[in-house]
Amino acid sequence: MAKIKLEYIWLDGYYPTQNMRSKTKVEEHENFKGTVEELGLWSFDGSSTKQASGGASDCILKPVAIYPDPTRRNGWLVMTEVMNADGTPHVSNARATIEDDDNDFWFGFEQEYFIMNTSTELPLGFPRGGYPAPQGMYYCSVGGKNTHGRDLVEEHADLCIDAGLNFEGINQEVASGQWEFQLFAKGAKKAGDEIWIARYLLDRLTEGKGMYIEYHPKPLGKDMDWNGSGMHANFSNTILRTCGSKEKYAEICEAFRPLVKEHIEVYGEHNEQRLTGDHETASINDFSWGVSDRGASIRIPIIAVEKGYKGWLEDRRPSSNGDPYKIAARIIKTVKPIK
């Protein structure tokens, strides 16, 4: 019998931006295969996470995905859903609202973020009391003058790959100290699981390094001339992947127009500071779509057009602090009725 460390990870009840919580369960297993079926339910004090009252504080953690923990010996990362004591999904459990049991929807999320210095509370590359050179030379740059935080980013990429995530890439973004990673999954729930596990690994990696990760879409202030951070949602279903119809793509894009409010409500807190119509964004008050248009709400990738309108769409509005479960659930609710 070998002892293994199971890190149960869940989302708390803070609103509108939830936080990750986790705790370790040490169990003895014989020939553990690393499957969800081998794991049991666990409880936690919901009164400490805004998910229960003190008089009835137990909430239940239901394992839904498991990945090797590359930072621990005999360790595993367990993504869980929060359930009520009676076994029903907790109101904070957005994963349970996703209507994609057949995994017809595929998602690729582009997670942007800033690496912050804990001493200055400024992004890497920003001097105390001042500003670095204007943005322009930081995007996909190389060299100590313009590139800040690469060691952390490279280590995070290796951890994600070692954990078995479908990690697809990294790049430095437009502002100093701003980076991005990309993940893809066939199935909305799996895509959300992997973003949250990747965020967990990134946040944990900063501990003891004098850094922290900032997911706020405009950490430097809404009036500053620096790009904000988003989490562009690339999505497809069978229709988008196979229809070969410009008209069908237009119909799907137009389905989003009357539902702007419903989407923005779940696309992340403080997103109005980022979606201004500047810095490669569409205004939060408008809706637009177009081929290869990074200033539109929804972009039709040129690759999809070149393949005869077979591919995917990119919703550029979700914020870097958005919940991929909520984002995916809302996109599916809009697109799924279209046949």
Cα(218)–Cα(232) distance, integer angstroms = 15
Cα(102)–Cα(186) distance, integer angstroms = 10
Q: Are 249 and 260 in contact (CB under 8 A)?
A: no
What residues have CB less than 8 Å from 35, skipping those under 6 apart? 66
Q: What pLDDT band is residue 222 in, cutting at 50, 70 and 90?
A: confident
- Helix/strand/coil for 40: coil
- Helix/strand/coil for 240: helix
Residue appearing with tokens 């790049």: 171
Mean pLDDT score, 277-281? 83
- Between residues 226 and 311, the one the model is more confident about: 311
Q: Are 253 and 298 in contact (CB under 8 A)?
A: yes
Tokens of 143: 């060299």
pLDDT at 223 over 80: no
Which CATH code for domain 2-92?
3.10.20.70
pLDDT above 70 as % of the chain? 100
pLDDT at 270: 97
Which CATH code for domain 106-335?
3.30.590.10
DSSP 230: B
pLDDT at 283: 92
**DSSP secondary structure of 92-139:** T--GGG---TT---EEEEEEEEEEEETTTTEETTPPTTS--SPTTS-T
| pLDDT 10s digits, 128-164 | 888 899 999 999 999 999 999 999 999 999 999 999 9
Tokens of 186: 């066939």
Q: Kindly list the domain boundaries of the chain, sorted by start residue.
A: 2-92, 106-335
Task: Classify strands 298-300 and 289-291 as parallel, antiparallel or unpaired.
Answer: parallel
pLDDT at 279: 75
Tokens of 227: 């790009």
The interaxial angle of helices 324-335 and 188-205, nearest 10 deg, is: 160
Distances (CA, A) of 325 to 55, 96, 267, 268, 277: 30, 9, 10, 12, 26
pLDDT at 333 over 90: yes
Cα(44)–Cα(49) distance, integer angstroms = 9
pLDDT at 220: 87
Mean pLDDT score, 55-81? 97
Q: What is the mean pLDDT of the chain?
A: 96
